[in-house]
Amino acid sequence: MPAAAAAHSDEAGRLHGAVADTNEHITVAASREALAGTFPGYLGIELVELTDDTVRGRMNVDQRHLHPGGYVHGGCWVAFADTVAAWGTMRHLPPQRGFTTAELKTNVLAAGRPGDELEAVGELLHGGSRTQVWEVRVYRAEEDDGRRLMANFLCTQMVL
């Protein structure tokens, strides 16, 4: 089992606790293979960046993501953000350990529509030996090369 890192705060003020050493096998390439044929894979969720503190994912909205009213279903917001947080969590798990999402909360701030390209940015807020806390912000690309915050997700992952 790898040694845990000491608690520290980074330059942005985020607190990091006893996070396990990085699992170098948890990569964007590994996610592509693992997500194929699964619920997140069916939703078209893909990871585009995976570092020790940040995970970025993408989901292009189409008919499969919508509720009957024509907007992104709440379950899709959660599945997208939870998938991003999960891969960040796995990057810090000691060998032979698993995890489960113990608590989550999502605030949807704007309606997603077909054609929207959504980007999720997950950041590790707390990395302890028994829990990890991740925040995932979901953005929509805007025509002026900007982005709009569409949803904010916060979860606690319990290390098993």
Detail the DSSP E strand segments found in the chain: 8-9, 15-16, 46-50, 54-60, 99-108, 117-127, 131-141, 147-159
d(CA 112, CA 65): 9
Q: What is the pLDDT of residue 131?
A: 95
CATH code, 69: 3.10.129.10
Write down the pTM of the prediction.
0.86
Q: What is the pLDDT of residue 25?
A: 86
Number of domains in the chain: 1
Asked, for residue 2, whether it belongs to a domain, the answer is no
Percent of the chain with pLDDT over 90: 72
Q: What is the pLDDT of residue 11?
A: 57
Asked, for residue 39, whether it belongs to a domain, the answer is yes
Which stretches of the chain drop beneath a pLDDT of 70? 1-20
Asked, for residue 4, whether it belongs to a domain, the answer is no
Q: What is the pLDDT of residue 76?
A: 98
Q: What is the pLDDT of residue 53?
A: 82
Domain of residue 90 covers: 12-159
For 64-77, write each residue's pLDDT tens digit: 999 999 999 999 99
